[in-house]
Structure 1
Amino acid sequence: MSKKDEFIFGFKKAIPITMGYIPMGIGYAALAIKAGLTPLQTVGFSILVYAGAGEIIAVTMLLNGATAFAIILTNFVVNLRYFVMNVCVYNKVQKTSPLLNALSCHLTTDESFAMFSLMDESSIWTYVGLSLTSWLSWILGAAIGVFVLDLLPVIVTNSFNISLYALFVAILIPNVKKNYRIGLLVIITGIINIILQTIIGNWSIIVSTLLGALIGVYLINDAYFLTDDGGIK
């Protein structure tokens, strides 16, 4: 496929993610406005930061009177997992460049990483199409949220955040049907994270991600095999 075809393929794969990001973006906007951010700040935060959980944590902390240092430090710890995800993504893709990697790393999220990791495709342009479309849909959700906030009941806007969990389920179920070990790995990683939260707090996300990846090497290794072109079968 050409770069254009690979990008369009990624765009199409991002459609399920956009269905979750737009309502979740609306829910985030509701919290941001409640915390005192202006509509421009709310949307700008989504453009520059682009970390769903991180943004929600930040505006919640802001609402509770946390200092800027505490908000930045918390987000730094929570979002460290993106270092791990980007390493995995750029180890998988082919025919890329440091510049393209640097420009696209801002677009990595849990959902785009999960979707791309479970795909056979290993093109950087497919990943860019997937992650860029997801980013734009998150921004669109935040923009919609600042305009419709006054038109919807609070209980409705707050319920939009549930879409994130539904999105993860939608991404995982088709692949769990193909290989139950993927679902087992998710459960194991979740349990590790819950246990570690009581011990090391927000660092549990990073540690459980690394431990889950290590377990996955042995748990799923004999179920998926790399092809000559770097894909997975």
Structure 2
Amino acid sequence: AASMALSGATLMAIILTNFVVNLRYFVMSTCVLNKIEDSNIPLNILAAHVTVDESFAMFSLSEDSSIWIYLGIAITAWLSWCLGAAIGVFTLNLLPVIVTNSFNISLYALFVAILIPAIKENRQIALLVLITAVLNIILSQFLGNWSLIVSTLVGAGIGMYIVDDEYLLSGDD
């Protein structure tokens, strides 16, 4: 949102982009809860609130379908994010500027690290990532900041047809 605001994006573009980008948590929680066998509504609500990309990735690749295993993974990852943010706030001014500036790339590296195993295991996922990336590059020439929203939605729509549901639910190829 901050980088979009600095580049002159409209408020609506910023809100819609953040909505679409963070819509992944709805999708991840749905996939996790579809995989879990025995659970109840309070545990499902807790699981949905502590879902982060890493817990989703780890649980999706896991053979286990226990809510307790997922909550253990998810709460650990969620608390790590919270603790990491707190440490970052307090140590930011103690680090040299060159170090703090290099952290900007670390979030992108994190998403790449999450994505690479899925791409290696499933050609459908690899094709979907490629299609979405190319689409975003092309659309950015015409739509500016809106290209991320449109390419994400179109990529998700294409993914519904080319990615096998069993892979998403089980983590198997």
How far the C-alpha of 1:132 sits from its partner, in A, is 1.5
Tell me which residue corresponds to 1:107: 50
How far apart are the structure 1 equivalents of 2:19 and 2:71? 24
Q: Do structure 1's residue 151 and structure 2's residue 94 form an aligned pair? A: yes
Larger displacement relative to structure 2 (206-215 or 135-144): 206-215
Change (3 A) 1:142 1:119: same
Q: Which residue identity does 2:70 align to in structure 1? A: Y
Q: 1:88 aligns with which of 7, 20, 31?
A: 31
How far the C-alpha of 1:91 sits from its partner, in A, is 1.6
Q: TM (normalized to structure 2)?
A: 0.70
Q: Do structure 1's residue 133 and structure 2's residue 76 form an aligned pair? A: yes
Check whether the contact 2:131–2:155 (CA below 8 A) recurs between aligned residues.
no
Tell me which residue corresponds to 1:214: 160
How far the C-alpha of 1:187 sits from its partner, in A, is 1.9
Tell me which residue corresponds to 1:31: none
Q: Which residue identity does 1:214 align to in structure 2? A: M
How far apart are the structure 2 equivalents of 1:231 and 1:203? 28
Tell me the SS of whatever aligns to 1:136: helix
Q: Unmatched 5+ residue regions in structure 1?
A: 1-56
Q: Which residue identity does 1:98 align to in structure 2? A: I
| Mapping for residues 44-55 of structure 1, pairs under 5 Å | none
How far the C-alpha of 1:152 sits from its partner, in A, is 1.1
Alpha-carbon deviations, 1:199-219, whole Å to 9, x = none? 4815336514522431343xx
Where relative contact order (Cα < 8 A, 6+ residues apart) is larger, the structure is: 1
Check whether the contact 1:94–1:122 (CA below 8 A) recurs between aligned residues.
yes
How far apart are the structure 1 equivalents of 2:5 and 2:135? 29
Q: Unmatched 5+ residue regions in structure 2?
A: none
How far apart are the structure 1 equivalents of 2:139 and 2:56? 23
Check whether the contact 2:17–2:149 (CA below 8 A) recurs between aligned residues.
no
Q: 1:120 aligns with which of 31, 48, 63?
A: 63
How far apart are the structure 2 equivalents of 1:72 and 1:165? 21
How far the C-alpha of 1:113 sits from its partner, in A, is 2.7
Check whether the contact 1:104–1:128 (CA below 8 A) recurs between aligned residues.
yes
Query: What is the count of residue pairs matched by the alignment?
Result: 169
Tell me the SS of whatever aligns to 2:100: helix
Q: Which residue identity does 1:131 align to in structure 2? A: A
Alpha-carbon deviations, 1:52-97, whole Å to 9, x = none? xxxxx25x57889x9x998766533442332222222222221122
